[in-house]
């Protein structure tokens, strides 16, 4: 896993494994926890998108957000 973002509370990760390469995943507390130290780590991971481009397509523009207000 390669972190795309980092912060005090959450991180986006890009999956580098051959079978699921490019998937975008979410981890709620990566900055405080070393992934892989527990066999049950996967419950901490959330699926975001199949790839970075699709994740960006799903983000709303400022215009869309403002029109919803």
Spans of all domains in the chain:
2-67
CA distances from 27 to 23, 64, 67 (A): 13, 27, 30
The confidence score (pLDDT) of residue 39 equals 58
Per-residue pLDDT of the chain (69 residues; tens, 9 = 90+): 777 766 666 778 888 889 999 999 887 766 555 555 665 666 778 888 898 888 877 777 777 767 766
From residue 65, alpha-carbon distances to 45, 48, 49, 51, 61 in Å are: 27, 20, 20, 23, 6
Collapsing DSSP states into helix, strand and coil, what is residue 24? strand
């Amino acid at each position: 896993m390669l972190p795309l973002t980092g912060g005090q509370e959450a991180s986006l990760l890009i999956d580098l494994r051959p079978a699921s390469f490019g998937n975008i995943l979410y981890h709620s507390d990566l900055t405080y926890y070393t992934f892989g130290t527990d066999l049950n780590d996967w419950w901490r991971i959330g699926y975001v998108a199949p790839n970075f481009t699709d994740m960006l397509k799903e983000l709303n523009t400022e215009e869309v957000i403002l029109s919803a207000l």
